[in-house]
A and B are shown apart, each in its own frame.
Chain A
Amino acid sequence: MIRAWIRFWQTLLAILRELADERAYQRHLLVHGRAPSGEEWRRFSEERLRQKYQRPRCC
């Protein structure tokens, strides 16, 4: 039972981190072999947000 709850919270947190683009940032760092920094975040988020806000939003 406790294990199921832990799994549930982990999944919930992972969903929130995906929605927050934090997981995408981790993937970006992994793919490019870079360490987290302010400069790196700005580079990542500019590209990410540019793509994100070119797609229509749902009503």
Chain B
Amino acid sequence: MGKFLRTGVWILAAVVGAFALAGIALRRGEPVNSAWLVTAAVCFYLAAYRFYSAFISAKVMALDDRRATPAERLRNGHDFEPTNKWIVFGHHFAAIAGPGPLVGPTLAAQFGYLPGALWIILGVVIGGAVQDFVILFASVRRDGKSLGQMAREEIGRVGGGIALLTVLLIMIILLAVIGLVVVNALKGSPWGTFTIAATMPIAVFMGLYLRFWRPGRVLEVSLIGFLLVVASIFAGGWVAHHAVFGSWFTLGGMALAVALIIYGYAASALPVWLLLAPRDYLSTFVKLGVVLLLGLGVLIVRPDLQMPALTQFTDGTGPIFAGKIFPFCFITIACGAISGFHALISSGTTPKLIARESHVRQVGYGAMLLESFVAIMALVAACALEPGVFFAVNSPAGIVGATPEAATATITSWGFPVTADQMSSLARHVGEETLFYRTGGAPSLALGMAHIFSRIAGNEAVLRFWYHFAIMFEALFILTVIDAGTRVGRFMLQDFLGHLWKPLGRTSWMPSVLLTSALIVAAWGYFLVQGVLDPLGGINSLWPLFGIANQLLAAVALCVATTILIKMHGAKYMWITTLPLAWLVTVTFAGAWQKIFSNAPRVGFLAQARLLEAGPQTAQTKQLIFNNRLDAVVCGIFLVLVAAILADSIRVWAGILRGTREVRSFEAPFVPSQLEAEELG
């Protein structure tokens, strides 16, 4: 293609992107078609990938294909293996795409579609993709080292210790909050509960099949598992209407929370091949398939966005979670815009598979753009619902009223008309008793997805299948994150306790396995139960805590990245990472400060505790007061951690820039690559 033609294409893409963005930002008072949003996002991603990531890879990183990567130098056929870039891309994307990019944008839709959309598009281009890209590059240049190791080497022991502690804390809050999403999606839903319960024996069957009957046939058994899960969705419809079985699987929030806690403990203590691994394989393939299906669905159906661009809840009075658009929109949507957890993946398996340095750009920057696109799809699915229905599904009873009539009257008074009959009819269509008070995002996202899917394949008659398919998909991979996360948390705790008493660190010693599993499950289980008991729905407290923690980890990653850039180029290119870092620190500090000290009881934990103290004291009230104070302490710990890592990093940066600190590079020495192109087939 000639230079003029190429330039013309990029100018056209920029104009179309700007026009589409202006369309979604400026139009008011009528529904906007989602095609505008998708077009704006895609044009931005393309331009950012073509120009910004190219600038970073050429000028800042100076990626060099003549340099052997750790995959080549340390090749061992296990974790270090030079791999085709598309395979690494798929592997990396599957690892970074969890429930976050689906749930966060759905919850943030309470502000309207515009704030979330802008943050997802701009946040990923300037922040999230840059973080993943730079950390992946740094790890590739350092023999595939982890974020914790790099933090310890580049910043100091404090940074390394904080990184480790942060990961453990985030894990606990993350597991609790996504557990709550599942509980709220399944409570009072025998169909959904049966389907999810059925995935457990299916996973065990897959585990036995893989271990004893057809060893190594993972794709084969995953296909069988998928067919069984689809069959269980159909069976769920029958079970839900069965006089006896229906009541067995109709569980309340607390019963589901207890079941989840028992499940998490069992999954952590059982042999990994029996339940966790087969379930993980299945969940990965279902996740990729559904994401692809959702992308295609949105492109084909192009639904109108019924949600206004901005709602009145930007003032902080939102029913799903309280707090103003700044900082809470930017905390609620982490994955999809910027997520600290990605830095762990970018410094985990992925750098050990990168065959050539130039692949880092496609994998690090490109995969994050794709995840951002998934977040846009989730936002579209949620905003395509009528706002009245969206708020009826997601608002807790404590805010809108405990009866369908009261809830719909409250929501209608906000300017989002909805009736109890309409909700009842919708619930019947999707095979549920009720859709009220399902705070957490999963059911509303499932509704949005079901509407999109049913317009492609079938009609309203199959809406119930697609709704339960979407619920199954969300719950399946959320549960996989829960069981894998509990196991990882157990290993981290054993690693720590092993320093106090050696046998506790042995991962094969059963008493230690049982004890540490119990401790981890108790930690996230406590927060989960707290969320279930919370009259404000739990998400109001837990999701911001999780968002703050996740952004804190991103701040740690960006501190490491900035230190590395300063060591490479002095102050010249440090803006690339300090720009998103400054934003994240501002957001995290503002968010954490408000969650602790705000005088508004729905926002500030301490204000909520004071309000409860002023009322009648029951055992439950006392528990709620304690929970609010505990959340304030956890939030305070996050604040202190951010401050500590930031102060330590600034001290190191100042020393390097002033020349008072030795600039020590931890990069592996240059070794010429001997890799042949055909080795990467």
Contact = CB atoms under 8 A, between A and B. Distances in A.
Contact of B96 (A38, A53, A58): A58
Nearest to A15: B90
A3 interface: no
B348 A55 contact: yes
Interface in A8-59: 11, 14-25, 27-28, 30-32, 36-38, 40-42, 45-59
Contact of B219 (A16, A40, A58): A16
A59 B99 contact: yes
Contacts of A23: 87
Contact of B98 (A16, A20, A28, A58): A58
Q: Give the one of A18, A47, A56 with max B CB within 10 A.
A: A56
Nearest to A30: B77
Interface string B159-181: 00000000100110010001000
Contact of B488 (A21, A37, A57, A59): A57
Interface string B360-403: 00000000000000000000000000000000000000000000
B78 interface: yes
Contacts of A24: 78, 81
A51 B349 CA distance: 10
Nearest to A41: B215
A14 B99 CA distance: 25
B276 interface: yes
B485 interface: yes
B49 interface: no
A54 B20 CA distance: 44
Contact of A18 (B83, B167, B339, B345): B83
Nearest to A48: B78
Interface string B424-438: 000000000000000
Given A57-B488, A58-B95, A17 B219 contact: yes
A52 to B, nearest CB: 8
Contacts of B470: none
Interface stretch (B51-59, B277-285, B315-323, B568-576): B277-285
Contacts of A27: 77-78, 81
Query: Per DSSP, are chain B's interface residues mostly helix, strand or loop, or mixed?
Result: helix
B78 A28 contact: yes
Nearest to A13: B219
Nearest to B215: A41
A23 B222 CA distance: 15
A53 B219 contact: no
A57 B91 contact: no
Contacts of B344: 55-56, 58
Contact of A58 (B222, B339, B487, B507): B339
A25 B210 CA distance: 13
A58 B79 CA distance: 19
B216 A22 contact: yes
Given A21-B218, A22-B219, A57 B98 contact: yes
A55 B84 contact: no
Nearest to A25: B216
12 contacts: A19-B284, A36-B216, A47-B78, A49-B276, A51-B78, A53-B272, A54-B491, A56-B488, A58-B96, A58-B97, A58-B335, A58-B341
Q: Give the 7 A-B residue pairs with the shortest CB-CB distance, closest first.
A: A31-B77, A15-B90, A41-B215, A20-B218, A59-B100, A38-B215, A27-B77
